[in-house]
Structure 1
Amino acid sequence: MKLKDVRKIEFWMATVVFVAVVYALLVDTNNRDDSGMHNYFLHQKISYSYFFNFFVPNFIIDLLLYVMFLLLNFVLIPSLINRKRELLNYSLLAALILVSGVILGVCRTYSHAYELKDYDSIQRSYNSIFFKAFAQAILLTIIISLYTCAQYLISYLLKSKAENLPLQKQLKMDLSFGIGFWFIGLFFLITSRSHLQLSVLWTLVVLSSVGIVIYSLYYLLPKLQEKQKKFRDFFWTIFAISLISVLPLSVPALFFFNQTNEVIFIVAMFHLPTQLLVSIPLSWFLFKKRLMRQNEIASLRTELGQSDANLTFLKSQINPHFLFNALNTLYGTALQEKAERTGEGIQRLGDMMRFMLHENTQDKISLMREVEYLNNYIALQTLRTSMSDKITLITEIEEQFENYHITPMLLIPFVENAFKHGISLQKSSYIKISLQVRDQVLFFDVSNSINPKSDNDPEKLKSGVGLENVRQRLSLLYRDRHELMIHENANEFFVHLTLHL
């Protein structure tokens, strides 16, 4: 998936989340549900309005978050990364932080008006409120900017190359999923007005989990697999890494937690269970599943290679040039001995073998060539049965076609079946074959008498696969473009095929 496609998905996801949040806010107006905020106003003996002190500030903040995400993620940060109009974009970035801080501060003076009485003077209370608002605006700007920069960094590092395209695609997909999962959760925490500390913990724990999963899938587990290590070795390795990483993760958390002495414990309480109960099982499951898929692909490639080798070997056993030269020699000898029927049979057999070796391997061939092969087959069978006067063969096959194409060897199974089951040298039998094309539609009819095989005939116990094979080919290659009707009774077998070319 390209970066521009990911960004389209981001836009619509952000829009859907914004609409959902606003819808939830509107629904709450029916019940005047403000999550108990009015109690703070009543406690401070300040007049409270659900509309002005809750609904309007929260709606403006949600709209501001949505606009900030669109401007930063799709306009300002990409322009700065690409170094386009840097002075203008830096100025717009500063203006965005300033305006966002002012809007958040004004909204907070309404939504948190009860805080005004916590300070000695109104000026100090306003200073505190607007300081927190500008800090929140800067934090939001940093978070969204880091998210956008991470996208561009991943896109740059994982730029697809021909020699390792599958690995690059998989790694890019894993990173995109992990970062997207983190951002969606963070966006919900912010829009639901959760405590800032919870958002910080979410960011630290989830991003560290993404790093551990990626490290496990693309480095640690492949190394352990080479050394034939088991799950317990992987578990204790990740446990040690998770334990060691608690201290580095606690350092940035110090800036957002007041209880500095408890930061390490709080981070460890969220971080360690997540890695042990989520990251380790998820990494192990994904690695085993992908390893199984790779083994299946390798096995299929091995089988395919063996099949190709066998086919190449078989082809090497029969040199087509030698075969055709031999047939030409026999044909010339037959003409010298004035065995015209033998010569004609050899010539037609050579044409049929040439067709099967060269044109039968193509997906589509000219309808003229298919008809030539059909005529050669019928002519060879006629040579075999011409000595009997009990066999009637009627063919109505057009000879001239426009530039129509057809799948090779699609018509011959019906004719082969007719000669196989419809001809008897001792009893009266017949075969009727008709082929014509009208308005790009092929009409093919074959009917024959039915002559049961004798008990000592080796063909009696063999079930033919030709008709079943052609049924499958028609359903795959001419789906909704053909009609096949087969009728059989005690004396006659009839096939009608309509094919849209």
Structure 2
Amino acid sequence: MKLKDLSKIEFWVATGLYGFAILLLISNSGERTPNHTESLMKGANLHYSYISNYLFPELFRFSILYFSFLLLNFCILPALFKPKDRAMAIIMLICLFLVTGLVTSVVYTYSKEYMFSDFSTLNEAYNYFFLRGFSYSTWLILIIGIYAALKKLIIYFNDNDSLQYEPNNRMKLEAVFGGAFWFVGLLLLIAGHGNFAVMLCWTLVTCSTVCIIIFSIYYLIPQVKREGKTFRHYFWKICLIAILSSVPLVLLALLYNNRAEMAVAVIAFHVPTQLIVSTSLSWFIYKKRSATHAELTSLKTELGRSDASLSFLRSQINPHFLFNALNTLYGTALQEKAERTGEGIQKLGDMMRFMLQENLQDKISLTRDIDYLNNYIALQKLRTSPSSSIVIETQIDEQLNNLVIAPMLLIPFVENAFKHGISLQEPSHIKITLQTKESTLYFDVQNSIHLKGDNDPEKLQSGIGLQNVKRRLTLLYPNQHELLIRESATTFFIHLTLQLQRNS
């Protein structure tokens, strides 16, 4: 997932939760049902106002949480990693800390007015409330900061494919995902004034779930598969692990809260979570990953065979002799004033040189790939130029931005257009546009469609090239491309958006 897309999701999720909380407060305001604060206020012989003692304090508290998250996650914390913006980010962080602490402290004086009678002096009460307010501000900034750090770590692993696919690093990445999930839940509990016992139970159950899922994916399920056992055998092993792991969790819970209710709550949440969530989720992830691994292995095998065939072909052909022969034919065509023939031979030579040399590289200059594309289009124009009913339009921008691309990634779309879009008997058209903006490539191909005859050997072979290029895009540019294909009765259209890298 792109960072921009993740930021949009974060913003709308946070905004949705904030809006839901505000809506809930407003909808409950008409009912005026007694709450805990009201009972405490009346117990202290104080006048209770739903608006000033509950509604407004809660609105301010949710607003402070929402806007603090937006400022920290999208403005302040990202700026801390940029040296030129670091000083301003620190100033904004200090201001946010002071404003959040001050507003929260004032909110406490209204929502917890019943506590004033517990202190001997007014100053002592205000000191207590302001200490709690600034403590809340500190914890809020710390938790959101940890969330942002976890997110940055996830993005780092996700953007480095070589790190992402190593088993140890992938295990670390999944542990980070689990940690992020735990922090989000903890943040929601803090925002809702959750009880400490609930936070403790959430922490113990979530952490044990993450550990059991990772253990199942990398050790337990592979062992079950090697033994030839089924899901039922794996399920009973998870049952045993869930029961045994309850013992240390209960002991940890009792260290912080020496009550039998806490132990019962941990067991009540822990065991069902492992049997329902951990078992099904880890099995699903393992099966999905095994299927992907099998597909990659199959593709690598096919690519290995193709490389071996190409290497054999190259060993049979002497490129030096081939290019000399083409140059000789080119010179002869110019002597005989066959300019179109000479132009065609020259472009064919350039294409064969590309096929035998640069096509073997993982990444090549976008300029060279476009040269091959232009040579192919020029040869096709030579072939179709006698027919006035064939219109071929190209708008391919010159590339000076030092971008690199996997070779032969664009040509299948153009080949498909000439294969199915040209008829020497009927009006035909092809339009090809290619342009780049910064590191993004935009590629469009539109062509007419002509049905093949029943005796045409290529009638049943349509779409094979496009299927292959779709697989290559998925493997080479995961989450970095968008391919749209539209087809009507008379027109075929593709639009490819591709995120490229610059040549280092």
TM interval, shorter chain, is 0.5 to 0.7
Residue-by-residue CA offset, 1:442-462 (whole Å, 9 max, x unaligned): 999x9xxxxxxxxxxxxxx98
Q: CA deviation at 1:267?
A: 2.6
Structure-2 change in CA distance of 1:247 and 1:437 (3 Å): closer
Residue-by-residue CA offset, 1:213-235 (whole Å, 9 max, x unaligned): 34443566557767777654686
1:99 aligned onto 2:109: no
Contact 2:217/2:282 (8 A) holds in 1: yes
Aligned to 1:145: 142
Contact 1:61/1:104 (8 A) holds in 2: yes
Match for 2:352 among 352, 358, 362?
A: 358
Aligned to 2:358: none
| Separation in structure 2 between the aligned mates of residue 74 and residue 184 of structure 1, nearest angstrom | 16
Structure-2 change in CA distance of 1:369 and 1:247 (3 Å): closer
Aligned to 2:300: 301
Q: CA deviation at 1:105?
A: 3.1
Aligned to 2:290: 291
| Separation in structure 1 between the aligned mates of residue 4 and residue 415 of structure 2, nearest angstrom | 44
Q: CA deviation at 1:185?
A: 3.3
Residue-by-residue CA offset, 1:74-93 (whole Å, 9 max, x unaligned): 67777889996699799768
Structure-2 change in CA distance of 1:292 and 1:31 (3 Å): same
| Separation in structure 1 between the aligned mates of residue 172 and residue 260 of structure 2, nearest angstrom | 39
- SS of 1:365's partner is helix
| Separation in structure 1 between the aligned mates of residue 323 and residue 76 of structure 2, nearest angstrom | 73
Greater mean deviation of Cα atoms: 160-169 or 286-295: 160-169
| Separation in structure 2 between the aligned mates of residue 125 and residue 238 of structure 1, nearest angstrom | 56
Structure 2, gaps ≥5 residues long: 329-337, 356-371, 397-410, 434-445, 470-482, 493-504
Alignment of 1:303-452 (within 5 A): 303-310=302-309, 312-313=311-312, 358=352, 363-365=373-375, 368-370=378-380, 372-373=382-383, 407=414
| Separation in structure 1 between the aligned mates of residue 420 and residue 346 of structure 2, nearest angstrom | 14
Contact 2:347/2:375 (8 A) holds in 1: no
| Separation in structure 2 between the aligned mates of residue 187 and residue 39 of structure 1, nearest angstrom | 27
Structure-2 change in CA distance of 1:222 and 1:124 (3 Å): farther
Contact 1:61/1:107 (8 A) holds in 2: no
Q: CA deviation at 1:470?
A: 7.6
Q: Which amino acid aligns with 2:105?
A: V
Q: CA deviation at 1:371?
A: 5.2
Q: CA deviation at 1:106?
A: 0.6
Alignment of 1:475-490 (within 5 A): none
| Separation in structure 2 between the aligned mates of residue 39 and residue 437 of structure 1, nearest angstrom | 77
Aligned to 1:236: 237
Q: CA deviation at 1:56?
A: 1.8
- SS of 1:149's partner is helix
Q: CA deviation at 1:294?
A: 0.8
Alignment of 1:57-72 (within 5 A): 57-70=57-70
Aligned to 1:464: 456
| Separation in structure 1 between the aligned mates of residue 426 and residue 327 of structure 2, nearest angstrom | 30
Structure-2 change in CA distance of 1:132 and 1:436 (3 Å): closer
Aligned to 2:277: 278
Residue-by-residue CA offset, 1:102-137 (whole Å, 9 max, x unaligned): 235313324xx3x66xx7x65399968975884586
Structure-2 change in CA distance of 1:200 and 1:147 (3 Å): farther
Structure-2 change in CA distance of 1:473 and 1:212 (3 Å): closer
Q: CA deviation at 1:51?
A: 1.5
Greater mean deviation of Cα atoms: 308-317 or 52-61: 308-317
Q: CA deviation at 1:238?
A: 8.2
Q: Which amino acid aligns with 1:105?
A: Y
Q: Which amino acid aligns with 1:56?
A: F
Aligned to 2:182: 182
Q: CA deviation at 1:396?
A: 6.1
Structure-2 change in CA distance of 1:182 and 1:34 (3 Å): farther
| Separation in structure 2 between the aligned mates of residue 356 and residue 468 of structure 1, nearest angstrom | 31
Contact 1:238/1:280 (8 A) holds in 2: no
Alignment of 1:97-246 (within 5 A): 99=102, 102-110=105-113, 113=114, 123=120, 131=128, 134=131, 138=135, 141-142=138-139, 144-149=141-146, 151-152=148-149, 155-156=152-153, 158-159=156-157, 160-161=159-160, 163-167=162-166, 174=174, 177-218=177-218, 221=221, 232=233, 236=237, 239-240=240-241, 243-244=244-245, 246=247
Structure-2 change in CA distance of 1:99 and 1:41 (3 Å): closer
Give me the identity figure in percent.
27
Aligned to 1:391: none
Structure 1, gaps ≥5 residues long: 330-343, 376-394, 419-431, 447-460, 486-496
1:51 aligned onto 2:51: yes
Contact 1:21/1:191 (8 A) holds in 2: no
Contact 2:101/2:133 (8 A) holds in 1: no
Structure-2 change in CA distance of 1:466 and 1:264 (3 Å): closer
Contact 1:76/1:89 (8 A) holds in 2: yes
- SS of 1:178's partner is helix
Contact 1:209/1:275 (8 A) holds in 2: yes
Q: Which amino acid aligns with 1:464?
A: D
| Cα RMSD for the two superposed structures | 6.0
Structure-2 change in CA distance of 1:30 and 1:90 (3 Å): closer
Aligned to 1:449: none
Residue-by-residue CA offset, 1:227-262 (whole Å, 9 max, x unaligned): 77765468637844873475367547744x4x4455
Larger radius of gyration: 1
Q: Which amino acid aligns with 1:106?
A: T
| Separation in structure 1 between the aligned mates of residue 127 and residue 24 of structure 2, nearest angstrom | 27
| Separation in structure 1 between the aligned mates of residue 302 and residue 224 of structure 2, nearest angstrom | 28
Aligned to 1:20: 20
Q: Which amino acid aligns with 1:305?
A: G
Normalised by the length of structure 2, the TM-score is 0.57
